[in-house]
Chains A and B, each alone.
Chain A
Amino acid sequence: MSVLARLRAGRRPLPPANARQGMRVALVLGTVAFASAPYWLGGSYFPDIWVDMGLWAIIGVGLNVVIGFAGLLDLGYMAFYAIGGYVFANAALYHGFNLWETLPIGAVVALVSSAIIGFPTLRVHGDYLAIMTLGFGGIVYFAAENLSAVTGGVNGLYGWKTPSLLGHPFITPLDFYPFVLALLIVAALVTMHLRSSRIGRAWACIKDDEIAAASSGIAIVRYKLYAYMLGSVWAGLAGALFAAKEALISPESFTFDASFFAVAIVVLGGMGSISGVIVGGIFYVVIAEWLSAYTGTLSGVIFAALLLLVVLLRPQGLIPYRPNFSRHRLIRYGLAEPPATTDDYRLDP
Chain B
Amino acid sequence: MNEAHPPAPAHHGTARRLLLGPGWIRAAWMFALFALIGMGLVLGLRAIAGWHPVFDNSIVVLVSLLVTGPVGFLAGIGCFDYWVYYALGFPTRPEDHSGHGARTWKDYFRVNTDHKVIGVQYLTTTMVFFLIGGLLAILVRAELARPGIQFFDTQTYNGLFSVHASLMIFLFIIPAFAGLANFVVPLMLGAGDMAFPRLNALSFWLLPIAGIMMVASFLVPGGAFACGWTGYVPLCSTHQPLGAVFFNQAVQWAGASSIMTALNFLVTIITMRAPGMTFWRLPLLVWANFTTSLLVVIATPFIAGSQFFSMFDHVMHTAFFQTAQGGYPLGYQHIFWFYSHPAVYIMMLPGFGIMSEVISTFSRKPIFGYRLMALSLMAIVVLGFSVWAHHMFVSGMASWLRVPMMITTLLIAVPTGIKIFSWLATMWEGKLHFNTPMLFALGFLSMFVIGGLSGVMLGAVPVDIHMNQTYFVVAHIHYVLFGGSVFTIFAGIYYWFPKMTGKMYDEKLGKLHFWLTFVGFNLTFFPMHILGTEGMPRRVADYAPKFADLNMFISLASFGLGASTLVFLYNMITSWRSGEIAPSNPWHAMTLEWQVSSPPPIFNFDEIPQVVGSPYGYGIPGAKHAILAPSKEGQEVGVT
Partners in one complex: no
